[in-house]
């Protein structure tokens, strides 16, 4: 009888951690996506007259991506904007490409940051954007849109973001673009890492005014200039790599209204171009997002092990129990629970992949993807232990990350 009670308790615990956890996670995931669906088509009209927007694009050694990015920015159907490109110490042909585009379009202005112009204590991107904002028509732009050089926008992205920001009185609208991959690993891993990011950092709570949680994505970040300047802009977060989330956090502290939304229909990004760069990049991102603390990463590891891989252990244990008739309790309950767990998990992951790209069947490859995700988490933990990370030639420490 004691063996029966023990197994019953273990089974109940497994159901809670396995299929129960995924049912709750799936419900929360769908609700969160609905709450973060800020933009819509057809786009509502921007209140007249449309405020001037300056789009700022920092570029450091981006010769392969900068032209496609700028062409998509210049194709925006918003009627009142200009573009400032900051060539940040590039050693490739970025400056030449930007100069060629600027010579053919008067809306494009260029700022050059030389090799020795990065002040001590500044991150490269923060300094570049700080310089770019200073050139943004001497304060004539009421809104600033920060766009990374690896992002491509749909023609109505700026107009749609401006409409929702003005009509709903938001001070910031940051979008999460669609991941674009050109190979197997690029299509398999980013959706998993992106979903992990949203869960680990409770991204959806940015969209509530009564909670301090804040998140932003610097790949697309539209900010009311008055709010940006009130919190000190990029100078106030000059030393951190997570400048986007730090700005969102400062906005909330100052009682402004930042929002983050899905931008899969409005923007796309190819972040990394190989398995090695994907592992390095996401490990760095989790370290930076956690501000050097390991606790969120450890919780994510526990979730993957206990709430994901345990379905295979449950099925294997059930098969083992059924294969040994001398054991008094059969294994069909474990097999059924494991199968339900696997089915729920696979359906939810298929949704994640469907939202991120055209291959929902990649959910069937979760054991492979999750194994590499665990390796990314472990690499991030190692970075937490060392307390520093290198990014584009600049060194950042744990103390720097926690300063904002």
Judged by DSSP in three states, 55 sits in strand
Computed over its alpha carbons, how large is the radius of gyration of the chain? 23
Is residue 326 pLDDT above 60, yes or no? Answer: no
Q: Does domain 42-183+203-272 have CATH number 3.90.550.10?
A: yes
Most distant CA pair in the chain, distance: 84
Tokens 């573009």 belong to 83
Judged by DSSP in three states, 151 sits in strand
Report residue 269's pLDDT band, with 50, 70 and 90 as the boundaries. very high
Q: What percentage of the chain has pLDDT greater than the value 90?
A: 50
According to DSSP, the β-strands at 108-113 and 81-88 are parallel
According to DSSP, the β-strands at 172-179 and 258-269 are parallel
H or E, element range at 397:
strand 394-397
Residue 98 has what pLDDT? 96
Burial 33-43 (b: 16+ CB within 10 A, else e): beebebbeeeb
Domain-by-domain residue ranges, the chain?
2-31+294-386, 42-183+203-272
pLDDT tens string 281-301:
899 889 888 888 899 999 999
Structure tokens at 392: 């584009």
pLDDT tens string 375-391:
999 999 999 888 877 76
pLDDT tens string 223-254:
999 999 999 999 999 988 889 999 999 999 99
Report residue 186's pLDDT band, with 50, 70 and 90 as the boundaries. confident
Report residue 325's pLDDT band, with 50, 70 and 90 as the boundaries. low
Is 0.85 surpassed by the pTM of this model? yes
Between the two ends of the chain, the Cα-to-Cα distance in Å is 57
Across the range 186-191, mean pLDDT stands at: 88
């Amino acid at each position: 009888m004691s063996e029966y009670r023990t197994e019953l308790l273990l089974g109940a615990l497994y159901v809670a951690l396995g299929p129960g956890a995924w049912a709750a996670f799936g419900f929360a995931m769908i609700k969160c996506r609905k709450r973060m669906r800020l933009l819509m088509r057809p786009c509502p009209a921007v209140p007249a007259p449309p405020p001037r927007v300056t789009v700022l694009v920092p570029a450091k050694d981006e010769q392969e991506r900068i032209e496609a990015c700028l062409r998509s920015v210049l194709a925006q159907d918003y009627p009142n904007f200009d573009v400032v490109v900051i060539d940040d110490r590039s050693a490739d042909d970025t400056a030449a490409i930007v100069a060629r585009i600027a010579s053919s379009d008067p809306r494009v202005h260029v700022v050059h940051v030389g090799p020795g112009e990065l002040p001590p204590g500044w991150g490269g991107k923060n300094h570049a954007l700080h310089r770019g904002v200073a050139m943004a028509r001497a304060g004539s732009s009421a809104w600033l849109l920060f766009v990374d050089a690896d992002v491509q926008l749909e023609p109505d992205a700026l107009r749609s973001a401006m409409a929702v920001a003005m009509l709903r009185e938001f001070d910031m609208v940051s979008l999460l673009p669609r991941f674009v991959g050109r190979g197997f690993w690029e299509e398999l891993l980013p959706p998993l890492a992106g979903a992990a990011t949203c869960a680990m950092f409770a991204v959806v709570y940015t969209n509530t005014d009564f909670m301090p949680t804040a998140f932003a994505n610097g790949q697309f970040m539209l900010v009311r200039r008055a709010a940006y300047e009130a919190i000190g802009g990029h100078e106030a977060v000059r030393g951190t790599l997570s400048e986007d989330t730090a700005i969102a956090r400062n906005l909330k502290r100052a009682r402004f209204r930042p929002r983050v939304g899905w931008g899969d229909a409005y923007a796309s990004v190819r972040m990394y171009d190989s398995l090695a760069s994907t592992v390095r990049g996401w490990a760095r991102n989790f370290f930076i997002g956690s501000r050097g603390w390991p606790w969120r990463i450890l919780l994510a590891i526990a979730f993957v092990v206990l709430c994901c891989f345990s379905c295979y252990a449950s099925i294997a244990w059930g098969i083992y129990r059924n294969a040994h008739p001398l054991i008094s309790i059969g294994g069909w309950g474990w097999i059924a629970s494991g199968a339900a767990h696997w089915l729920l998990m696979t359906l939810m992951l298929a949704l994640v992949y469907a939202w991120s790209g055209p291959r929902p069947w990649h959910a069937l490859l979760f054991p492979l993807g999750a194994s590499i995700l665990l390796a990314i988490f472990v690499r991030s933990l190692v970075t937490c232990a060392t307390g520093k990370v290198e990014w584009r030639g600049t060194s950042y420490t744990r103390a720097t990350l926690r300063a904002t």
